[in-house]
């Protein structure tokens, strides 16, 4: 999840991913430096999906995830570092907020990953890790006391507002309609095909069994919007 904020006369930004979140600070307006690098969670998601498949797993599995985290096998997707460096160049602070639990070393794993990728503001002041809950509200509120949150980045609607923590697809759709003006402007959703509260909304649980029935249910949910769009387009 991510966001921008201001402290004094300086505009600040906060960027959060479901696993990493940050605020950035800068006076917006100057051109971005040429050939600056970039970050995003899509590559992480893709690598994670390949890892699951290599172990014969169709759906997210906490045990595999917990073994994978310490290996630090992560990479940046095109555009990610460019964006974060652009924010840094303009004085926008970045805060990384994540919920995960790999035991006592959870925080050090998360911080090491940020520093391994050489991300801007990869320090303990800009990293918040929740082990007991996926609710990032308190972090947003605390950061918002000193910064104006201008942008939130995340791979989960629940990273944006706790309102989305519901186990019903239609209710989530209604909430998105309510927040239509903010999505794509205040909140940017990063694709994550392996995990998220959307899984619970479809199956009623976060880690459904890899059965043929569940595969068909996932396919139906994934293609429903496309077919509705196709029918309406055709008249």
Question: The CATH number of the domain where 59 resides is what?
Answer: 3.40.50.1000
Cα-Cα-Cα-Cα dihedral sign, residues 204, 210, 214, 219: positive
- Is pLDDT larger for residue 139 or for residue 42? 139
- 172 within a domain of the structure (yes/no): yes
| Other beta carbons within 10 Å of 27 | 12
Integer Cα distance of 31 and 42 in angstroms? 26
46 within domain boundaries: yes
What's the total number of domains in the chain? Answer: 1
Q: Is residue 217 part of a domain?
A: no
Q: Where are the beta strands (DSSP E) in the chain?
A: 2-7, 10-16, 21-25, 93-94, 96-99, 127-130, 152-154, 187-189
Residue 118 has a CB neighbour count (10 Å cut-off) of 11
166 in a structural domain: yes
Residue 220 lies in a domain: no
Domain region containing 129: 2-208
User: Given the structure tokens 């909430």, which residue do they identify?
Assistant: 175
pLDDT of residue 55: 54
| Tens-place pLDDT, residues 55-112 | 555 666 777 778 878 877 778 777 889 999 999 999 999 999 988 888 899 899 899 9
pLDDT at residue 115, rounded to an integer: 93
Task: Decide if 154 is inside a domain.
Answer: yes
- Output the pLDDT for position 202: 77
| DSSP structure class, residue 130 | E
For residue 40, name the pLDDT band (cuts at 50, 70, 90).
very low
Q: Poorest-confidence range of 10-19, 74-83, 124-133?
A: 10-19
Residue with tokens 């940017």: 188
pTM of the prediction?
0.65
Is residue 215 included in any domain, yes or no?
A: no
Higher pLDDT, 230 or 105: 105
Report the alpha-carbon distance of residue 22 to residue 46 in Å, rounded: 22
Quick check: 198 pLDDT over 50?
Answer: yes
Least confident of 35-44, 74-83, 194-203: 35-44
**What does the alpha-carbon distance between residue 27 and residue 92 come to, in Å, rounded to a whole number?**
7
Length of the chain equals 235
Query: Are 20 and 155 in contact, with CB atoms under 8 Å apart?
Result: no
Examine residue 235 and state whether it is found in any structural domain, yes or no: no
- The sign of the dihedral angle between the CA atoms of 29, 31, 33, 39 is positive
């Amino acid at each position: 999840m991510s966001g921008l904020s201001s402290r004094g006369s300086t505009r600040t930004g906060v960027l959060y991913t479901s696993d990493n979140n940050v605020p950035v600070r800068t006076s917006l307006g100057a051109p971005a430096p040429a050939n600056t690098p970039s970050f995003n969670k899509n590559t992480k998601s893709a690598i994670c999906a390949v890892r699951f498949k290599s172990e014969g797993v169709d759906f997210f599995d906490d045990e595999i995830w917990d073994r994978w985290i310490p290996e630090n096998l992560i990479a940046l997707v095109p555009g990610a570092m460019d964006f974060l460096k652009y924010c840094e160049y303009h004085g926008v602070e970045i805060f990384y907020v994540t919920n995960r639990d790999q035991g006592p070393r959870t925080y050090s794993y998360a911080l090491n990953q940020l520093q391994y990728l050489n991300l801007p503001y990869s320090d303990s002041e800009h990293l918040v890790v929740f082990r007991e809950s996926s609710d990032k509200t308190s972090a947003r509120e605390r950061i918002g006391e000193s910064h104006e949150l201008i942008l939130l980045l995340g791979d989960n609607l629940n990273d944006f507002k706790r309102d989305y923590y519901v186990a019903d697809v239609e209710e989530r759709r209604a909430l998105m309609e309510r927040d239509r003006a903010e999505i794509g402007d205040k909140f940017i959703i990063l694709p994550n095909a392996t995990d998220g509260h959307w899984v619970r909304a479809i199956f009623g649980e976060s880690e459904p069994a890899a059965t043929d029935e569940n595969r068909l249910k996932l396919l139906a949910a994934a293609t429903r919007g496309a077919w509705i769009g196709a029918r309406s387009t055709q008249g």
